[in-house]
Structure 1
Amino acid sequence: MRMATYASTSVALVLILTKTAAWMMTDSVSLLATLIDSCLDAAASMLNLLAVRHALEPADKLHRFGHGKAEALAGLGQSTFIAGSALFLCFESIGRFSHPQPIEAMPVGVGVMIFSILATLGLMLFQRHVIRQSNSTAIKADHLHYKTDLIVNGAVIAALILAYYGWPGFDPVFAIAIAGYILFSAAEIARESLDLLMDRELPDEQRARIKEIVKKHPQTRGIHDLRTRKSGMTAFIQLHLELDGHLTLMQAHAIADDVEALILAEFEDAEVIIHQDPAGLMEQRPEFAAA
């Protein structure tokens, strides 16, 4: 995860330098759009770097559940950066639309965009590998951002060619479309980050799988009050396990340990808390708790 943040920051800085030179030569507002995006990529990547370093710190006396929510805070910060850049780009594009400017040094701009696409593809392949290994929210947010960059860079190439050989107004038109797509991406990142900060339940298919695992044990009679959430890479799973009321405490404890091991075999980074209940015991349960 740390290597992914270092790679992301390095790529963003290299692209800023190349795009700045290309923008100064072409005076393209579409290229300015992707330059602004790269500047925010660098800021967001630096934020990610700090957040991931903090999130990977082990739990301590003041943070018993670890520091995983630092990733969600980083994702929320990223979405704010991205939305701000999109709004700035909209205002810039509207002004340029009223007074279109001819594109200069078009081949240079296209060459820089092709280089950007290749560099972004290499980074995304590495990020995808890291996501498969860690399921990191911060890296997923960064990956989504660079995924939109591919589309943005392709759109800039089209805008440069069309504006150079045809109507100069194509440049701001494409820039406005890029800004809209960036805003959509920012909303997606913000939604996932808020879900983590608000302790949203794990996806329904994962909750259903937990219930299947528990009920598969031959000595369990049922499960209720299943509660789940995620913080960083760690999933937290709490449940009430229904057992034969005539079991000894030692027997019930052994069964709960077996069930916990079964859950951990499939949810490796989870923390599991199991409360044992006699089957058939009538309890007052929260209305939202699934049976």
Structure 2
Amino acid sequence: MTQFLVTKFIKDSENINDLKVREKYGALSSFVGIACNIILFIFKLIVGTLSNSISITSDAFNNLADCATSIITLFGYKLASKPADKEHPFGHGRMEYILSLILAIIILLVGYELIKSSIMELINPSKISFSYVSMFVLIFSILMKIWMSTFNKKLGNKLNNSAMLATSKDSLNDVIATSATLVSLIVSGFSDLMIDGIMGVVVSIFVLKSGFEIIKDTVDDLLGQGLDKETVEIIKKHINDEPMVIGYHDLMVHNYGPGKHFGSAHIEVRSDEDLLIAHDAIDLIEKKIQEETGILMSFHIDPINMDDKETKYYYDKVKSIVRAIDKDTHLHDFRIVTGDTHTNLIFDLVVPFDIKLKDDEIIEIINNGLKDEPIKIFISPTIENKYV
């Protein structure tokens, strides 16, 4: 069914980095959400009112909130697909993340109202009128929400779209909530147990949990997460496959929304290489990475003097010291300034995030490793963390 809808309503559906295509995916997801949730809201409101069930009525308004978020999301995809402009040169892709936050806040508000009503039902319980029509409506709702969750998960994974994945997660929570409501209806209909308020609280907790989880995931995206390992390996492979490249450092990628990634790195080549040939080789690497990952890379060439014996000696010496601290450390931009009484070693040192030592402790270890050199050594390191 998902593939049928995609093929029917989205032309060029595989070109998922195109903003117009992403907008159409978003519109499809939103229209499906609006249609399904309006149907469920109407049916549940009717049976909830007739059966005098707070949990069914609460579940109905939960669906109405889902409908509202689909409408908000529909307009949001329009904004996210806007091309870059003077004020926003990197585009409007992060609107998808902002939409997810709005969606989460609405879910939390609905959850708060549901739990408040459910507590009142616990204090003043009322008898539920059981009917097979009500039971059928709830079973139908569960099946529809399972399909909606699967539908949005498939689209969200395909597009790496946090808003769609958030909608999928919300639909799964709706399945659990409606299942609890169904249990309440059956138990209350065939016994004297008044569990409608309890099940209403259960529904509310799942709704609130969903909202908090969506906020956490979206905040992670807004703060900036590291690239997935697979993409990092693709970038590294293209760099390392070029024979002219002897190393690289300061690889970083910035995310301005799905399909909007910009990256940079310093590429090390021999200082005696032809600059025009090196530049052409680096341009080709950038194009290959963009074609395979969609990331627009910008590389800076660092010329490395491979023939100076003194530089190589101190580079190897410092490298052995820092590798003894942690095998994941990495030296780059290493150079020396010699004098009559001392030698300065200037370099950048990349350390992993989980290293236990402070910067001054690392510097002290390096100084201790160089104290027996025949000439006084001063070091000037810039210590930084990996970006990917």
Q: Same fold (TM over 0.5)?
A: yes
Q: Secondary structure at the match of 2:61?
A: helix
2:333 alignment partner, one of 271, 274, 281 = 281
- The 1:242/1:143 distance shift into structure 2, 3 A limit, reads same
Matched, 1:80 2:105: yes
Q: Count residues in correspondence.
A: 290
Matched, 1:166 2:191: yes
- The amino acid that maps onto 1:288 is N
Contact preservation (8 Å) 2:244, 2:278:
no
Deviating more after overlay: 167-176 vs 41-50: 167-176
Q: Detail structure 1 runs of 4+ shifted over 6 Å in the superposition.
A: none
- The 1:105/1:227 distance shift into structure 2, 3 A limit, reads same
Deviation at 1:212, TM superposition (A): 4.2
For the aligned residues, what is the CA RMSD? 2.3
Structure 2 partner of 1:266:
292
Relative CO higher for 1 or 2, CA cutoff 8 Å, sep ≥ 6? 1
Tell me the distance in 2 between the aligned counterparts of 1:205 and 1:187: 28
Deviation at 1:98, TM superposition (A): 1.7
Contact preservation (8 Å) 1:238, 1:272:
yes
**In the TM superposition, what are the counterparts of 1:9-158 in structure 2 within 5 Å?**
9-158=34-183
Tell me the distance in 1 between the aligned counterparts of 2:247 and 2:191: 69
Q: Deviations over 1:63-111 (max 9, x none)?
A: 1111111111100001101111111111111111122211113322221
Deviation at 1:160, TM superposition (A): 1.3
Tell me the distance in 2 between the aligned counterparts of 1:191 and 1:212: 32
Matched, 1:218 2:243: yes
Tell me the distance in 2 between the aligned counterparts of 1:286 and 1:49: 45
Tell me the distance in 2 between the aligned counterparts of 1:217 and 1:131: 35
**More helix per residue:** 1
Contact preservation (8 Å) 2:145, 2:175:
yes
Q: Secondary structure at the match of 1:221?
A: strand
- The 1:214/1:165 distance shift into structure 2, 3 A limit, reads farther
Tell me the distance in 1 between the aligned counterparts of 2:235 and 2:184: 50
Contact preservation (8 Å) 1:260, 1:274:
yes
- The 1:32/1:60 distance shift into structure 2, 3 A limit, reads same
Tell me the distance in 1 between the aligned counterparts of 2:251 and 2:291: 18
Structure 1 partner of 2:268:
242
TM-score (norm 1): 0.90
Tell me the distance in 1 between the aligned counterparts of 2:299 and 2:83: 23
**More strand per residue:** 2
Tell me the distance in 2 between the aligned counterparts of 1:168 and 1:65: 59
Deviation at 1:158, TM superposition (A): 1.4
- The amino acid that maps onto 1:277 is D
Q: Deviations over 1:126-151 (max 9, x none)?
A: 32342243222221211221121122
Tell me the distance in 2 between the aligned counterparts of 1:169 and 1:204: 52
Tell me the distance in 2 between the aligned counterparts of 1:191 and 1:274: 33
TM-score (norm 2): 0.69
Tell me the distance in 1 between the aligned counterparts of 2:276 and 2:383: 28
